[in-house]
Amino acid sequence: MEKKHKFSIWYVLLGIWAVLILNNLIYQSIGPEVIPYSEFLSRLRQDKIKEIAIGDQAITGVMLDKDNAEVKFKTIRVNPDLAKELEGHTLKFRGEVESTFLRNLISWLIPIFLFLGIWYFMMRRMGPGAGVMQFGQNRAKLHAEQDVPTRFEDVAGVDEAKGELQEIVSFLKEPERYTRVGGRMPKGVLLVGPPGTGKTLLSRAVAGEAGVPFFSISGSEFVELFVGVGAARVRELFSQAKEKAPCIIFIDELDALGKARGMSVVGGHDEREQTLQQLLVEMDGFDPRVGVIIMAATNRPEILDPALLRAGRFDRQVLVDKPDLNGRIDILKVHAKRITLAPDVDLKILAQRTPGLSGADLENILNEGALLAGRADRDQVTMADLEEAVDRIVGGLEKKNRVINQREKKTVAYHETGHAMVAAYTPLTDKVHKISIVPRGIAALGYTEQRPTEDRYLMSRSELVGKLDVLLGGRVAEKIIFGEVSTGASNDLQRATDLARAMLTQYGMGTTLGPVTYSRRNQPIFMPQDSSYLPPGQEYSEATAAGLDDELRRLLEEREDRVNQVLSEHRDQLEAVAQKLLDQEVLESREFYTMLGLDPDKAAGQAETEG
């Protein structure tokens, strides 16, 4: 659009210039000959002037040239006392008032018409009823993509997410199959995951696989300077999408737009809220059977406005997590297709060296390797190039605390195995669902996920003790294997201590303190536990406090002994599971229980032990 404008302004200027040149030419060819005043005087003295008209500034007239032919001439007046000179010569002369009116008028009119023309032209470009709304339209139109070339095979290592999105693809391809039996597709699908894991890529792959138009817009593009623009843009986007259905609307970086209301700092606040409101209205207002599916991506789901996540909006969430070892191998394979690899390249080794890296990081490594090979003027990318690329990129990321080294990885593997094994060997605990040493976020280097088989509202003392044991499992395993504990276990210890204290002071589960509750903290039920919420003053004596501390220590020591016993007894299994975990980074429930020689279908609840 910008380009065309410049072009047309040049066009107009060119036109003006051409007219001026032409004008000059015509004037010169048919206009009077312009002669200097001195020549005029000398001709006057020679009586070669036949007739003149005297204006304010110029004298025009007819003179005789060399061949005594009459020619028109013009000269600029210099001598004010011309009349005297003229006397005694045989010529007609008269005074004339030069008419400059027309010329003045034209010199005013041309610029005015020019500006009017440009203005009209610009308004035409924006379309009828031009205004801010039309900008929105233009932007959204720019983003409608017809044949998206991306396919699912371009995205690797996120099989679970792909599986869930497969359903969306088949709905877009043949909606009748679902609507015939009264099925309703989710309106909104939210892709959640750390940066660079392929969320944008996946959404494009869905559009590519289904072969539908893809409207893509970034959340930040909605948030404009002028109030009302964002909301208008949302309206426009949806109305266009409905025309093109079946199609996909993709809102990248939804968090820029969908931050929980009332959370933002001053400025742009009302505008964002209005836009968000409009998005909610549009999402509620359309029938999913028309075949428009709204996808969005975010790496900060926790700050999204809860209204966005309600049923009928982004009610389906797909986790796009960082890839495990096999995932990383697959991603490397996908991107290795584009570069010429030397035969010595082993992608598995690269994958082993890069735990915690995202798909984008891995792509970056291959690219960096190719650049290194190019710099050395080689035809193939060698393993050495790629190793150096890993060093560079991992080194860069290590500074940002995103990658763990091999020794840390080993510690984490034993730690997590400790949690999981204690859970497996303790009755009344939640079933181990998954063990992972793929780092998540900043704090957690690994996690053991336990899932409840039913909802629980009450817990017995033995169940709470079981929880204590599982929490202590990580650090005890570290102690057994390495002879010391790492800082990674401190959060577990904190949680174990809090739980044990609650058992003694709130639930009356102690042995020496009697059936008394020693704490009357009323915590807000729906708020996170907040330790700063302590009421002033203690409700028990110093002696009781000392007794409480004693019993607390005794309880935890007792649990630690038991955990130590369990893990030492099964030390060979601890080694084997941790080794397996180091190899493949993730261990699913079935595989884990089988390794312990236990029944994988043994049931039990939800807890997650991080760190």
Nearest to 125 by CA among 299, 300, 253, 6: 6
CB of 611 to Zn ion, least distance (A): 4
The Cα 208–Cα 245 span in angstroms is: 15
User: What tokens does 580 get?
Assistant: 């397996």
The Cα 306–Cα 489 span in angstroms is: 33
List 51's β-bridge partners, or say none. Answer: 62, 92
Q: Which residues contact 604 (CB under 8 A, 6 or more apart)?
A: 428, 429, 430, 431, 450, 452, 453
Angle between helix 490-505 and helix 461-482 axes, rounded to 10 deg: 150
Binding string, residues 137-176; x marks residues near ligand ADP by CB under 6 A:
------------------xxxx------------------
Q: Is 444 in the site for ligand ADP (CB under 6 A)?
A: no
Q: Is 370 in the site for ligand ADP (CB under 6 A)?
A: no
Report the partner that residue 492 touches, choosing among Zn ion, ligand ADP, Mg ion, none (CB closer than 5 to 8 A by kind).
Answer: Zn ion
**Which of the ranges 254-262, 358-366, 472-480, 499-507 carries the binding residues for ligand ADP, by CB under 6 A?**
358-366
Phi, psi of 336 (to 5 degrees): -70, -20
Closest residue to ligand ADP: CB criterion:
359
CB 48 within 8 A of CB 63: yes
The Cα 408–Cα 285 span in angstroms is: 52
Nearest to 351 by CA among 336, 371, 372: 336
Give the one residue of 205, 297, 445, 581 binding ligand ADP; rule: CB under 6 A.
297
Nearest to 587 by CA among 412, 458, 368, 444: 412
Q: How many C-beta atoms surround the C-beta of residue 397 within 10 A? A: 17
Binding string, residues 148-187; x marks residues near Mg ion by CB under 5 A:
----------------------------------------
Report the partner that residue 275 touches, choosing among ligand ADP, Zn ion, Mg ion, none (CB closer than 5 to 8 A by kind).
Answer: none
Q: Which is nearer to ligand ADP, 156 or 548 (CB)?
A: 156
The Cα 532–Cα 95 span in angstroms is: 104
Dump strand ranges (E) for 150-244: 188-192, 214-218
Closest residue to Zn ion: CB criterion:
474
Q: Is 207 in the site for ligand ADP (CB under 6 A)?
A: no
CB 424 within 8 A of CB 583: no
Catalytic annotation on 416? yes
CB of 280 to ligand ADP, least distance (A): 23
Report the partner that residue 474 touches, choosing among Zn ion, Mg ion, ligand ADP, none (CB closer than 5 to 8 A by kind).
Answer: Zn ion
**Please, is 469 exposed, middle or buried when counting C-beta atoms within 10 Å of its C-beta (0-12, 13-18, 19+)?**
buried
Give the one residue of 196, 258, 473, 488 binding ligand ADP; rule: CB under 6 A.
196
**Which of the ranges 76-84, 194-202, 338-346, 564-572 carries the binding residues for ligand ADP, by CB under 6 A?**
194-202
Binding stretches for Zn ion (CB under 5 A): 474, 492, 609, 611
Report the partner that residue 156 touches, choosing among Mg ion, Zn ion, ligand ADP, none (CB closer than 5 to 8 A by kind).
Answer: ligand ADP
Q: Which is nearer to ligand ADP, 158 or 232 (CB)?
A: 158
Task: Please count the residues of the chain.
Answer: 611
Q: Which is nearer to Zn ion, 298 or 448 (CB)?
A: 448
Q: Is 200 in the site for Mg ion (CB under 5 A)?
A: yes
- Of the residues 416, 449, 463, 478, only one is catalytic, namely 416
Binding string, residues 104-143; x marks residues near ligand ADP by CB under 6 A:
----------------------------------------
Nearest to 36 by CA among 73, 71, 3, 70: 73
Report the partner that residue 334 touches, choosing among ligand ADP, Zn ion, Mg ion, none (CB closer than 5 to 8 A by kind).
Answer: ligand ADP
Q: Is 254 in the site for ligand ADP (CB under 6 A)?
A: no
Name the residues that contact ligand ADP, by CB under 6 A: 155-158, 193, 195-201, 297, 331, 334, 359-360, 363
Per CB under 5 A, residues contacting Mg ion are 200
Question: Which residues belong to the active site?
Answer: 416
